[in-house]
């Protein structure tokens, strides 16, 4: 069974315009503005109700290994961006057993 491809931005815009009765241009502007807002607010964490939460997480420094040489090395601490899936989204996609 072949895996289906994710929707493109154009397909998402087309779907939104049909469902909301607006033009593709308006739907594209909405999607672009939402994306800009998410990027701007992600530092404080950003919640998309029913979908999930975008959060900044501090990773501690840790020991790692260079796969090419096998040499042990320290991986420095850093900040990473993570997306935590909402329970509603998880249950909609993967129903509980």
SS3 track for 27-92: HHHHHHHHHHHHHHHHHHCEEECCCEEEEEEEECCEEEECCCCCCEEEECCEEEEEEEECHHHHHH
- DSSP one-letter code for 9: H
Strand order in the sheet with 46-48: 46-48, 52-59, 78-85
Token pair for 90: 């998880």
**Do residue 79 and residue 96 come from a single domain?**
yes
| pLDDT band at 1; cut points 50, 70, 90 | very low
Number of domains in the chain: 2
Token pair for 91: 């249950």
**Residue range of the domain that includes 73:** 45-97
> What is the value of pTM for the model shown?
0.74
Output the domain CATH number for residue 65: 4.10.520.10
Tell me if 3 is assigned to some domain. Answer: no
**Do residue 29 and residue 67 come from a single domain?**
no
pLDDT in tens, 20-63: 999 999 999 999 999 999 999 999 999 999 999 999 999 999 99
């Amino acid at each position: 069974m072949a895996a289906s491809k994710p929707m493109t931005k154009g397909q998402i815009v087309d779907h939104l315009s049909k469902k909301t009765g607006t033009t593709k241009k308006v739907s594209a502007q909405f999607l672009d503005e939402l994306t800009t807002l998410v990027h701007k607010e992600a530092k404080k964490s950003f919640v998309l109700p029913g979908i999930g939460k975008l959060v900044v997480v501090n990773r501690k420094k840790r020991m790692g290994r260079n796969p090419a040489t096998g040499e042990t090395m320290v991986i420095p601490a850093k900040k990473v961006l993570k997306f935590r899936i909402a329970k509603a989204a998880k249950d909609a996609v993967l129903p509980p057993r």
